[in-house]
Structures are given as C-alpha cells and as structure tokens.
Structure 1
Amino acid sequence: MKEQFYKYIQNLQDQIIAGLEAVDGHAKFREDLWERLEGGGGRTRVIENGAVFEKGGVNVSAVHGKLPEAMQKLFNVGEADFFACGLSLVLHPKSPMVPTVHANWRYFEMYDENGNIIQQWFGGGQDLTPYYLFEEDATHFHQTCKIACDKHNPDFYTKYKKQCDNYFWNAHRNEARGVGGLFFDYCKANEEQSMQDWFNFVSEVGDSFLEAYVPIVEKRKGLAYTPEHKTWQEIRRGRYVEFNLVHDKGTLFGLKTNGRIESILMSLPPNVQWVYDHHPESGSEEEKLVKVLEEPIKWIVD
C-alpha cells in the first residue's frame, strides 16, 4: 500500500502543478529536493510572484524511522518504527477576489519489532478560504467534493464536511478559517472498507482537486480590486496564520519532531497585517464574509 500511495501522490503532484502553472501563465514552480537525516525525504515545489499566485507550494514527502517521542505519546505506544507519506499544498493568490486553498492526502504505517504492520490509516481533505464571498464558488467547491465522496459512500460528504467545519475552527477567534470542504483522518480497514477501498476514496478526492479549485480561479482572477480590498485580504490572512501556528496539528507536529522548517512554513502567506481591534464596515462585503464564518453553512441543498 505504501508504494502504491507514494507513487500516486508523486504523479498527482505533477498533475496539479501542470494545472496550476497553466492557470498562472507566468510563474513556474521551483523544485527543492531534500533528505531527512533520520530517514526519507521529499520533493518541495514552490511558486512565488506569479501572475495569479503570490505564493504557494505543492509538496510530497515520504519519511520513515523510529517513531518520535511526541508521536509515541500521541498514539500511546512505546518505541516503534513508522512510515508516513503525503502530499500537502497551499496556494495564496495575488488577487483578494481569488480564495486561498489548502489540501493534503496522507498515509501512515507503524510496525512492531518484527517489521509487521500494526497500524495503518489514510487521512486528508481539501478546504477553501475566500476573502470575498461568492456563494456560487463555495457551492461549486462543495459540490465537487460531494461528487467524489458519493462515488464511495453516500454518508461520506456529510460526515467529512462536518469534520472539516469542526477542525478548521479558529477557537480563539470563535470563527471558521474559511468555508470548509472535507477533512478525514484515521481511515482504517473495517467491515465496510478495506485499505484498498480507502486508497480508492482518497485518490478520488485527490483527483478532484483541480476541478474543485481551478474553475473558481479562472472565474475570479481577472476581477478588478482596490488597495482597500488588498488590505482586507492581508488582515484575513492574519487569521490564516493564527490557525496554522496555534491550532493546526500538522504544523505543530512538524515543529515538535524536527521537521523541515521551510516545507512546514511554506503554508504561510508572504504579506499579512494585524490591525488592532479591526471590524469591517456595517453592511459591507467584508462584514458579509465575517458573518458567514460565524457558523458553518450547508452549501449544498439536498
């Protein structure tokens, strides 16, 4: 399974990058290959100062070795060996009319002293963070997620949308990071789903990413915007940074386990503002977004 999934995410990285470079039309992704001293490594690809994307990264990694102490405590186990691989991406567009997007798909194995697999699971998801709300964009993103989920289980979309709304919640601000999407974790073999079934589901979601995001970018990238729009984007980016550094489990885990800092902090935007006690003008488009983020919304009507 680990060879199958690692090959899949390497190919998916190529496909996503080709699609994003075509949308940007100006900048290309820079590749940075790296190795992890304890075992494994990755292929980081970053885009900066594009016509559409101000900054973004699409990274794959596969790491292995002794389970770090922080993970031993998390999983309530003693010393063990592990393997983990995944693709993680974040894209911060230049235009405040185009939403930021995040996605990742990952696989994990843990072994006993004889090298036998004792735990294995998949995780991942994709979510959208707009600065100006276009309801049809949020609906399109969620509809694409639902189509991918429905091919495997009619309950998956509702379940994993709720988990996404719960996870990407900026608790110290009491607001959502964005308009959500999907989030799933610890997807293990059970009576209904084999590991191959989970692979098929996760790859279905991964394959849907460009269809979920690119049409939104194409529709919004040419819209005019003002310096005031840009200021609002940078203020909202501050909330994105807060979530990633305060609440995001992947970021915190990487920082605590000698992860590669450049790859971990690739998710942060280049320009951010924190304005003291800022509140959007009553009745404005900015206030419209904030009100939507106060409580999760059902973007698809059954």
Structure 2
Amino acid sequence: MASRRPALRLFAQCRCRSQLGSAPAVNTNWTSRRILSSFPSPGASGHTLAPLGRYLGWAAFGLLIAAPLTYKMAIDEPLRMDTPTLAERDQQLKAEQGVSEVSPMRLRMEKFAKEQQRAIVRALEEVDGTPFRVDEWQRKEGGGGITCVLQDGKIFEKAGVGVSVVYGTLPKPAILKMRANHKNIADEANIPDSLEFFAAGLSLIVHPKNPMAPTVHLNYRYFETANPDGSSGAWWFGGGCDLTPSYLFDEDAVQFHKSLKDVCDKHDKDYYPRFKKWCDEYFYNKHRGESRGIGGIFFDDLDESVSDRENLFAFVQDSLKSFVPTYVPIVNKRKDMPFTEKEKEWQQLRRGKYVEFNLVHDRGTAFGLNTPGARVESILMSLPLTASWRYMYEPEPKSREARLVEVLQNPKEWV
C-alpha cells in the first residue's frame, strides 16, 4: 500500500496538468517545472495545438516523468517506511505468540528478569513490612522498564529492584569498539554503518538501616545485536552479585561466597575462582586503594566462546534465583542487632566510598547515563539515601573498623 501512494499522487498531478491545457500553467511540481522550462512556448513559433493534441501531449509527457519516479518509489519506499524495527518485531511476536522456551533469547531473558523482580520484591517486603513503590516506564527509542523502590522502611533505608529493556542502534564507532571482545559482531571486511541492539537486565541494591547488616548489589543482563531480518547476531551475558558490609562478620562472608560457589560449581568448577577474582578486580576503588566490599562474583562478555547460549542462560537463572535464600537469612540475622551512634557514623562513611565507586568507576552507571533516552532515576537507584565524608578520617588501630579496611585492601579467599 505504501508503494501505491506515490504512484497515485503522481498520476493525479499528471491528470491535473492535462486538464489545465497549457505549459505555463504547470507549476505544481518543481521537477516538472524545471524540465518544462526548456521547451519552447507553443505561441513562440505561431503554432497552437488542438485541444486533443494538447491533452495527449501533456498526458504522455506526464507519464514519461511519472513512470521512472513511481518505479523508484515503489522500490525504495517500503525499505524506508515499511521495514519494522527490532522493537516492533518483538512487540508483534509477543502479542501473537507470547513468550515460550522457543522464543528468541532476548524475550526469554526479559520475561525471566521480570519474574525474578516480582519474587525478590515480595521477599524484601516480607522482611521490612513496607511496600515498594512501583514505577513502569517506557522509552521512546524502544523498550522500557519497571523500577521498584523502597525508602525509609523499617529495616531498609533504601532498596531498589529494577528491570530495564533497551532497544537501540549502535553507530559504526561503537561496533568497531565492541569487535575488540566480539569478533562476530560484524564482518571485518563489511562493517555496517549501524546495527540494531537489545539489552535487558535486572539490577538490585539494598542498603539496610542497621550498620551490622550488609549492603548487597546484584545485576544480571543480556545483550545482543540483530541482523536485518530480526534474527540474533552477536550476543553475550554479564552479571554478578557482591556484598558490602560496614562491619565484617566472617560467617556471613563465608555463607555468601559458599552460596555463589555452589551455583558456579553446578555449571563449571572454573567459574567461581575466575569470577571471584574478576569481582575483586572490578569493584576496586582505585583512588582509595581498596575494594568496595568483600566481593562475590562478577562476569561479562560470556558468549559462545565460553559455552552455548542455553547453558549460559541456565547459569544466569540459577545465580539470580539464589539471591533470596542467600541474602535474606543474613539480613534477618543482623537487622535487630544493637548499634551505637559511632557505628552508624562509620556506616555513613563507608557509604560515601560506595557512592564514589558508582559515580567514578562503574561502567554500568556510565553506560546508562550516556544512553539516549535513559531513565536517570533508575540508573541512580543504586545510590544510598544518606552518606557522609570526613576529611582525612582514619579508624582506630585494631578496631573492627580497621579490620574491615585491612580486608578491603587485601581481598580474602572466603571458601
């Protein structure tokens, strides 16, 4: 239908010209006007055309112009106007077929992330007794998300659980940069000017009120590029989970790391030592010379060079499902412990270091803030409600605060 409209418009213009009957009156189309200006006026040589001759002459001339232009529009216009974007393809696919085990991985990851978001929010609401605020939002460039936030609760000063789904287009410089880690993202001999992409993930942050209860962070995500027909191009998974205590309880650290190791070992016994080291290196506050917390696991760019897509998706699913049974028992154990004003002040100072890492070093925060149409409130959800900084503050030697700093400067093997 789109290709017929230009033809109908041109035919109507040609019919209009033929009814006007004289060359000077033809001025509705700049192309026709420019070409017609080179023809002599009928009155210049003293000859006039009979009405029927003029009608046939102008009709033939109009068709001569219209034919090649109509053909070109019929070929070009569907490419410009009728080719659906990846977001539109997925919207139609979900409406017609829903999401199942045979759906594209991007749709399965989106569905799984939203299911886990609901489960985690329910579990945290049971601990705190305060409902989350739920914001659903759309991104005009494609996609959207659900951001769930709890502030000033009974147990949690701030907790956020967010799902983001992003559709967009990678420009050529971004494609070239990504080829450093993913050679199959595009043929080196024929790198396109742009590629559509999809990214989806679940991010979580919990900042408890009690300084004896640790902060926890989690993120699991999936990224893929799309071929022109909508099929999957390059793809990879990323993610991890890490713990940031203000006061260190070794038993909590061991329990947390053992849970992560058990999940990793189920899929590949090399995962935990590799991803634990990766976590210690990534969550490192370089300007402070210490880690953000006591670590966990972190990984990125897991693609077919590591394992097939189904196995990696199963690993991500098991990792995400392990969060509630790992963290909730720890926070339940610590949430009602007594603490002093001085210990609360130390928690605020540690949160200041947390903020520094997120705003200075975290690649995810930088990527989000530099993505067109990004929802800033959701990106900065990870920041604590309160934090503080003191000039040249040093903990007392041999204190619990000093021991934490020593561990942050020298990461331990907990399991």
Scaled by the length of structure 1, what TM-score is found? 0.95
Give the corresponding residue for 2:369.
255
Match of 2:120 among 5, 12, 16: 16
Bigger relative contact order (CA 8 A; separation at least 6): 1
Partners of 1:180 and 1:52 lie apart in 2 by: 23
> In the comparison of the two structures, how many residue pairs are matched?
298
Give the corresponding residue for 2:319.
205
Partners of 1:295 and 1:117 lie apart in 2 by: 42
1:145-176 CA deviation, whole Å, 9 max, x = no partner?
01111111111111110110110000111100
Match of 2:144 among 6, 28, 41: 41
SS at match of 2:228: coil
SS at match of 1:298: coil
Partners of 1:270 and 1:207 lie apart in 2 by: 27
Q: Compare the two structures and name the one with the higher helix fraction.
A: 2
Q: What runs of 5+ residues in structure 2 fail to find an aligned partner? A: 1-104, 180-190
Residue 239 of structure 2 corresponds to residue 124 of structure 1: yes
Give the corresponding residue for 1:189.
304
What value does the CA root-mean-square deviation take over the aligned residues? 1.4
Partners of 1:239 and 1:183 lie apart in 2 by: 19
Give the corresponding residue for 1:273.
388
Indicate how the Cα distance of structure 1 residues 170 and 34 shifts in structure 2: closer, same or farther if over 3 A, else same: same
SS at match of 1:33: strand
Q: What runs of 5+ residues in structure 1 fail to find an aligned partner? A: none
1:242-270 CA deviation, whole Å, 9 max, x = no partner?
00000000001111113210001111011
Q: Are the aligned partners of 1:70 and 1:257 in contact in 2 as well (CA < 8 Å)? A: no
**Seq. identity, %:** 51
Q: Compare the two structures and name the one with the higher strand fraction.
A: 1
Indicate how the Cα distance of structure 1 residues 68 and 279 shifts in structure 2: closer, same or farther if over 3 A, else same: farther
Q: CA deviation at 1:37?
A: 1.5
Match of 1:64 among 167, 177, 180: 167
Scaled by the length of structure 2, what TM-score is found? 0.70
Partners of 1:5 and 1:255 lie apart in 2 by: 23
Larger Rg: 2
What residue identity is the alignment partner of 2:204?
A: L
Q: CA deviation at 1:117?
A: 2.3
Q: Are the aligned partners of 1:251 and 1:264 in contact in 2 as well (CA < 8 Å)? A: yes
Partners of 1:67 and 1:30 lie apart in 2 by: 33
Give the corresponding residue for 2:333.
219
Partners of 2:171 and 2:242 lie apart in 1 by: 29
Partners of 1:255 and 1:2 lie apart in 2 by: 22
Q: CA deviation at 1:66?
A: 1.4
Q: CA deviation at 1:178?
A: 0.2
Give the corresponding residue for 2:347.
233
Partners of 1:71 and 1:227 lie apart in 2 by: 49
Q: CA deviation at 1:15?
A: 0.7
Residue 218 of structure 2 corresponds to residue 103 of structure 1: yes
Give the corresponding residue for 2:379.
264
